[in-house]
């Protein structure tokens, strides 16, 4: 390709289809697949073709500077850079085409014990790898992978978001050893976001599932236990792991399990199967879903994405799952939690 060819031209796409760019140097999936390990491990940002791709505010050429500043020893500077980066590449529901190229480097920032933005770096990776279903807590959408949609979605520059999301997921799979190790990090925020990242991976599903199960067996933080159940269920749904439905059913039907695990497992089971909700599952939810549990579950990432402002994610999820059309009123204990959840990470 000539230098002129290395510019995405939406008019050309309209005339000839996306096939003209598939597998070329302007296909971000191809670029991610060819990114050498030494470039990723060495943080060799100058070896990455940032300028071929874009975000909401234009060329991705400014991304390396943001990444370097996110590694800053100054906490305020690191936080500001990461926030600006997130706002650029995840903007109003779109994922910029440059976003996948950040993933290997954000994972390495998260693995750096002296970095200030470790958990938020992982949260940004998860955001670019599984977007498009915010606000939908239905059985079809809660654990749905964004690039598995039948319809093509586009960013503000006309680039296919499906390619960007898939490339981000492939980048996670290539470096899955990093978030797997971070499942055992001392910082619970890092552990939580590592599970979200792994659930979005496009490959190594059995290896990731085993790592999530291992962490689930020893995790002591209630909110993280609930999140791990959903993290296990998400790739199992995509890759059709038949044992996951049995695992989630065993969890929600076991009275010895903690309430947050049983409720998360009930949600996971509903997403994994097409069966109508049995009466014993409804009985578990009627018994265990309280105002206090709603507040705890509101901060679980999968539930938070359903309603990340008012802390009512569990209520909305249950409504979406049991009757997405009628939105019936559930028992008072399933009502709106009081107060507000923390602002989203970006």
Closest by CA to 130, choosing from 151, 85, 100, is 100
Closest by CA to 222, choosing from 258, 193, 194, is 258
pLDDT per position as a tens digit, 136-154: 899 988 998 765 555 777 7
63, 102 Cβ separation under 8 angstroms: yes
Phi, psi of 159 (to 5 degrees): -75, 140
Please name the helix (run of DSSP H) or strand (run of DSSP E) that holds residue 193, with its range, or none. Answer: helix 188-199
Residue length, the chain?
Answer: 346
pLDDT per position as a tens digit, 185-220: 999 999 999 999 999 999 999 999 999 999 999 999
Helix, strand or coil for residue 63?
helix
Record the tokens describing residue 30, joined without a space.
């191809």
Q: Which residues of 25-116 form beta strands (DSSP E)?
A: 54-55, 58-59, 90-91, 94-95
312, 336 Cβ separation under 8 angstroms: yes
Is the full-model pTM beyond 0.85? yes
Closest by CA to 264, choosing from 216, 309, 307, is 216
pLDDT per position as a tens digit, 20-61: 777 888 899 999 999 999 999 999 999 999 999 999 898 999
**Residue 325 pLDDT exceeds 70:** no
Q: What does the domain layout of the chain look like in residue ranges?
A: 1-203, 228-346
Record the tokens describing residue 207, joined without a space.
């290896």
- Distance in angstroms (rounded) separating the CA atoms of residues 332 and 127: 33
Closest by CA to 112, choosing from 73, 140, 81, is 73
Mean pLDDT check: name the lowest of 156-170, 262-276, 315-329: 315-329
Supply the mean pLDDT for the chain.
87
């Amino acid at each position: 390709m000539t230098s002129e060819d290395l510019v995405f031209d939406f008019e050309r796409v309209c005339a000839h289809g996306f096939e003209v760019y598939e597998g070329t140097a302007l296909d971000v999936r191809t670029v991610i697949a060819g990114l050498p390990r030494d470039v990723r491990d060495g943080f060799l940002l100058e070896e990455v073709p940032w300028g071929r791709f874009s975000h909401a505010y234009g060329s991705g050429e400014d991304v390396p500077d943001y990444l370097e500043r996110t590694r800053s020893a100054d906490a305020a500077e690191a936080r500001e850079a990461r926030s600006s980066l997130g706002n650029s590449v995840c903007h109003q529901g779109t994922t910029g085409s440059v976003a996948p190229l950040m993933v290997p480097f954000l994972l390495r920032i998260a693995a750096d014990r002296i970095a200030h933005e470790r958990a938020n770096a992982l949260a940004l990776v998860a955001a670019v790898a599984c977007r498009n279903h915010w606000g939908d807590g239905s059985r079809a959408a809660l654990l749905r992978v964004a690039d598995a949609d039948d319809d093509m979605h586009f960013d503000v520059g006309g680039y296919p978001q499906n390619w960007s999301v898939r490339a981000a997921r492939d980048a996670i799979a290539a470096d899955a050893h990093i978030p797997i190790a971070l499942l055992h990090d001392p910082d619970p925020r890092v552990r939580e976001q590592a599970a979200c990242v792994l659930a979005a991976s496009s490959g190594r599903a059995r290896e990731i599932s085993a790592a999530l199960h291992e962490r689930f067996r020893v995790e002591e933080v209630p909110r993280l236990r609930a999140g791990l159940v959903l993290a296990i269920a998400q790739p199992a749904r995509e890759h059709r792991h038949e044992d996951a439905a049995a695992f989630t059913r065993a969890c929600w039907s076991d009275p010895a399990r903690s309430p947050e695990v049983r409720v998360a497992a009930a949600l996971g089971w509903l997403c994994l199967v097409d069966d109508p909700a049995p009466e014993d599952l409804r009985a578990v939810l009627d018994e265990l879903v309280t105002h206090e549990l709603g507040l705890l579950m509101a901060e679980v990432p999968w539930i938070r994405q359903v309603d990340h402002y008012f802390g009512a994610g569990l209520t909305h999820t249950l409504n979406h799952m049991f009757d997405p059309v009628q939105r019936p009123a559930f028992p008072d204990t399933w009502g709106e939690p009081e107060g507000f959840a923390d602002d989203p990470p970006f």
